[in-house]
Chains A and B, each alone.
Chain A
Amino acid sequence: DAKTTQPPSMDCAEGRAANLPCNHSTISGNEYVYWYRQIHSQGPQYIIHGLKNNETNEMASLIITEDRKSSTLILPHATLRDTAVYYCIAAYYDYKLSFGAGTTVTVRA
Chain B
Amino acid sequence: ETGVTQSPTHLIKTRGQQVTLRCSSQSGHNTVSWYQQALGQGPQFIFQYYREEENGRGNFPPRFSGLQFPNYSSELNVNALELDDSALYLCASSFGLAGAGDTQYFGPGTRLTVL
Determine chain A's interface SS by DSSP, over half rule: loop
- Among B12-48, those with CB < 8 Å from A are 31, 33, 35, 41-45, 48
Query: Chain A contacts of B55 at CB under 8 A?
Result: 95
Whether B42 pairs with A102 at a CB distance below 8 angstroms is yes
Cβ contacts under 8 Å, A97 to chain B: 33, 35, 43, 45, 92, 98-99, 104
Q: What is the minimal beta-carbon distance from A94 to any residue of chain B, in angstroms?
A: 6
| A91 lies within 8 A of B106 (CB) | no
Tell me the nearest residue of chain B to A93, going by C-beta.
B100
B76 in the interface (beta carbon within 8 A): no
**Interchain CA distance A92-B102 in the complex, whole Å:** 11
| Pair B42/A49 contact, Cβ less than 8 Å | no
Interface residues on chain A, number (Cβ under 8 Å)? 24
Give the number of A-B contacts (CB < 8 Å).
71
- Residues from chain B with a CB closer than 8 A to the CB of A99 are 35, 42-44
Tell me which residues across on chain A come within 8 A of B97, comparing CB atoms.
93, 95
Q: A44 with B106: in contact, given A95-B33, A95-B48, A96-B56 (CB under 8 Å)?
A: yes
Looking at the assembled complex, report how far the CB atom of A73 sits from the nearest CB atom of chain B, in whole angstroms: 15
A91-B98, A97-B43 given; name 14 further pairs at CB < 8 Å: A42-B109, A43-B107, A43-B109, A46-B104, A46-B106, A49-B103, A95-B48, A95-B55, A95-B98, A95-B100, A96-B56, A96-B58, A101-B42, A102-B42
23 A-B residue pairs with CB within 8 Å: A34-B103, A41-B111, A42-B108, A43-B2, A43-B90, A43-B92, A43-B106, A44-B43, A45-B2, A45-B106, A46-B106, A49-B101, A93-B97, A93-B99, A95-B33, A95-B56, A95-B98, A95-B99, A96-B56, A96-B99, A97-B43, A97-B92, A100-B42
